[in-house]
Structure 1
Amino acid sequence: MDRIRIVGGRPLKGSIPISGAKNATLPLMIASLLTDQTLILDNVPRLADVSLLQRILSNHGVDMMVPGKRPGESQQNGHTIHIVASRIVDTTAPYDLVSKMRASFWVIAPLVARMGEAKVSMPGGCAIGTRPVDLLIMALEKLGAKIEIDGGYVIARAKDGLKGGEIKFPKVTVSGTHTALMAAVLARGTTVIENAAQEPEIGDVADCLNKMGARISGIGTSRLIIEGVTRLGGARHSVLPDRIETGTYAMAVAMTGGDVLLEGARPELLQSALDVLAQTGTEVSATNEGIRIKRNGAGISPVDVTTDPFPGFPTDLQAQLMALMTMAKGTSRITETIFENRFMHVQELARLGARIALDGQTAVVTGVDKLRGAPVMATDLRASVGLVIGALAAEGETMVNRVYHLDRGFERLEDKLGACGAAIERVSG
């Protein structure tokens, strides 16, 4: 099993190209099930989760084509995939595939919308809380689907097709909004989604669906209106830049000091996180090429932050911020409101010398003068990269184990950081 070795203490200088967003790529790929025409996605990141979803979709009969290398092309750029679901041959998503990635459960929506039936295993994925699917099931039922749960599978049927309806989520849910959108675009009549998630990735998927012939309005707001259509066509769409990768590298620069341009990053996608970073004493400036992050070595100021749905501070940047706060000049409070059990990185950061006390869903972080390298264990995707950020500033060597979590969501992380001066390498076996 691969590990990542880091020798800390080096400032980061240079530029890092920001990849396409994983959290938009996965639902965009799943949306290909809604049409028998070709969906072309550009700026697709090279990630383990993308490869896994390719396998899951191929089980339904979906064909994928990834063009070969072209002149002047480099691994720095996202690649293009052509996805064709001309004939869906299997409407069952089995446990052995769905259990490996939670987002694959979302195939239930386009399958029942297009084929009138779907049988999908209960999901797996990161070990962060329960993340139930009850709101996804509720959304499908509001559109007329008959739901049965049998032997760990959710069976959805709509023999005569889905019908438009009103879906009001009791709490903001990204997965529920994705599911409702993909189900509603082929439903007869009008669907209104109230309290919809407003994350940029939702808007990116909605924009792509509109290119395919859907009629979605209210994009970027909490109220989405969908006029159902009888069929969707093909389209070409470029995945938006990954705001979580952007924020992660921004915090790595703030942690180590230095000066890095995050190429292609868009500040409006993570303004709340950039505002928090500025409060720590980090210089943040938008340019025509992306976002420039600079810290001249002065002390890191502590901050108090609560995670919230977009446009609030993202839960997916909570572990990275906590790592940054371990060396702040004072005490910080970080409150997690989105997922339970999302503090599993705390005890691993403590192995580096961090001082963190938990009070319910709040972590109280007392900054220390220095961290020291140690072997640490990644527990989930975002926690693992938080450990990398801590290791970049720690004295001596840190070995990060279980880096398959990193490969799920960060494209070529060690190459990108290494190009900016970090002493980081992958160790196989």
Structure 2
Amino acid sequence: MESYHIRGGNKISGEYSVKGAKNAALPILAATILCGAECQLSNIPQITDVNSMKKILNELGCKTDTSEETVIVDSSELVADTISLKRMREMRSSVFLLGALLGRCGSAVISQPGGCNIGSRPIDLHLHALRMLGTEITEKDDVIICKASKLRGAVIEFSFPSVGATENAIMAAATAEGHTILKNCAMEPEICDLQNFLNSCGADIHGSGTKTIHINGNSALHGGNHRIIPDRIECGTYLVAAAATGGEIVVKNAESLHLKSILEKLIETGCTVGVKRDRIYLKACEKLTALDKLITGPYPEFPTDLQSPFLTMLTLAEGKSYVEETIFENRFAFANELKRMGADLLVEDNHAFVTGVKELQGCRVAATDLRGGASLAIAGLMAQGETFIEGIEHIERGYADFSQTLRSLGADIRKTND
């Protein structure tokens, strides 16, 4: 098993160029199925989740060709509508293929998706939207069979602004007959990126980034070229790593408008933050200040994916911090590992109370999810002594060249085989 070996105490400093957004690349890769032609996607992150999605596309009959951060997908010879149990268990984002397959084939067979163990994350909102568009859905054990002789536009209101359900509904409605209105949509930048890709391929979608999206179905989509937006979560992770270790960093190829809530909280801890075009500068203060309140929520509120790195950073901040998680009930699962490193943490349901300590001590810890794993790496950088992190396959699902990047920024980290 591979693990990370970290010697703490080094500052994270230097320059880094943000990769393409994982949470934009995966649904857009799925959406290429709708086009039935060749699509060229650039700025694709080289992560294991992307590799898994390409394997699924290949198994469905698509051809994929990768050159560094560019992926060409030709879906003209799609031959299957069923995703294997193995692939579904590899990552949750495989669920995005539901809307794309229904829009292209009128059928799709999947099982309940896997992924990070951060909560139940049911797909009932996805299935509700697809039913409203005319899909007949049969669930037997863990298998979900979807059939639609013809998808038709509908008015769909989500009970919660789910990112995945919004994106699946967009994909299914893009080639449906008639007009679709989606209400109470998620407003994340990655949804706007999906809209922009599909519109470049002939779709007629308007309103992404707001609560209401209008879609005029068009069954004759074509291929196109698209560049994936920068990854705001990756960007935030490296900013936090610099802040937590007393460093100074310039992050390039960043979209600061997508990071407003994150930058505000970094400033609140005492960090100096500057923004110029596509660059974000951060200089840590000598001693971070605790946060009175950090509450996650749907965009543009504070992102749940960065709650774990911030919680880790706050373990050495001066004073008491309060963190509330409103999206996933198991986001605090990694907190027990922080306690083993000396953090003063109290977790009650979806609340965490953090009292800053003088130092953390390195030890052997285990990652059980993507963002919690990256947070344990940050803890190792902050800690005195040596930290060994097991389960790094979770981290590498979402961060390209994670250990190499940290090393280039001054960290003493290496990948080892235990």
TM-score, length-scaled by structure 1: 0.96
**Partner Cα separation in structure 2 for residue 340 and residue 408 of structure 1:** 21
1:134 paired with 2:119, answer: no
Residue by residue over 1:105-142, the C-alpha shift from the partner in whole angstroms, topping out at 9 and shown as x without a partner, is 22111111111111111211111111111111100011
Unaligned runs of 5+ in 1: 68-77
Give the structure 2 partner of residue 182 of structure 1. 171
Residue among 133, 153, 159 paired with 2:143:
153
Deviation readout 1:206-232 (Å, 9 max, x if unpaired): 110000110011121010000001221
In the TM superposition, 1:305-384 aligns within 5 A as 305-384=294-373
1:232 counterpart = 2:230: no
Match of 2:203 in 1: 214
Alpha-carbon deviation of 1:287?
Answer: 1.9
Question: Who is 1:293 aligned against?
Answer: 282
SS of 1:345 mapped into structure 2: helix
Does the 8 Å CA contact 2:102/2:108 hold for their aligned counterparts? yes
Secondary structure of the structure 2 residue equivalent to 1:66: strand
Give the aligned partner of residue 385 of structure 1. Answer: 374
Find the aligned partners of 1:363 and 1:298 in 2 and give their Cα distance. 21
Shift of 1:409: 0.4
Aligned sequence identity (%)? 38
In structure 1, what is the equivalent of residue 87 of structure 2?
97
Aligned equivalents of 1:409 and 1:125: distance in 2? 11
Go from structure 1 to structure 2 and tell me whether the alpha carbon gap of 1:127 and 1:35 turns closer, same or farther (over 3 Å shift): same
How far apart in 2 are the matches of 1:130 and 1:231?
37
- Give the secondary structure class of the aligned counterpart of 1:98: helix
- Aligned to 1:403, the other structure's residue is in SS state coil
Taking the aligned partners of 1:259 and 1:16, their CA distance within structure 2 comes to 11
Question: Which residue pairs with 2:231 in the alignment?
Answer: 242
Q: Aligned partners of 2:285 and 2:81: how far apart in 1?
A: 55
The equivalent of 1:281 in structure 2 is 270
Q: 1:17-32 to 2 correspondence within 5 Å?
A: 17-32=17-32
From the superposition, tell whether residues 303 and 5 of structure 1 become closer, same or farther in structure 2 (CA, over 3 Å): farther
Show structure 1 runs of 4+ deviating over 2 A: 296-303
Shift of 1:422: 1.0
Q: TM-score, normalised by structure 2?
A: 0.98
Aligned length: 418
For residues 156-200 of structure 1, give each alpha carbon's deviation from its aligned partner in whole angstroms, at most 9, with x where no partner exists: 1111x2000011000110110010000000000000000110001
* CA contact 2:296–2:326 (8 Å) conserved in 1: yes
Matching residue of 1:56:
56
1:411 aligned to 2:369?
no
Distance 1:229 1:299 in 2: 52
Cα distance in 1 for partners of 2:126, 2:219 equals: 22
Instruction: Calculate the aligned-residue CA RMSD, in Å.
Output: 1.1
Name the structure 2 match of 1:72: none
1:123 aligns with 2:79: no
- Contact 1:255–1:393 (CA<8 Å) still a contact in 2? yes
The whole-number CA distance in structure 1 between the counterparts of 2:134 and 2:287 is 59
**Which of 106, 124, 134 does residue 144 from structure 1 map onto?**
134
Task: Please say if residues 287 and 317 of structure 2, whose CA atoms lie closer than 8 Å, have aligned partners that are also in contact.
Answer: no
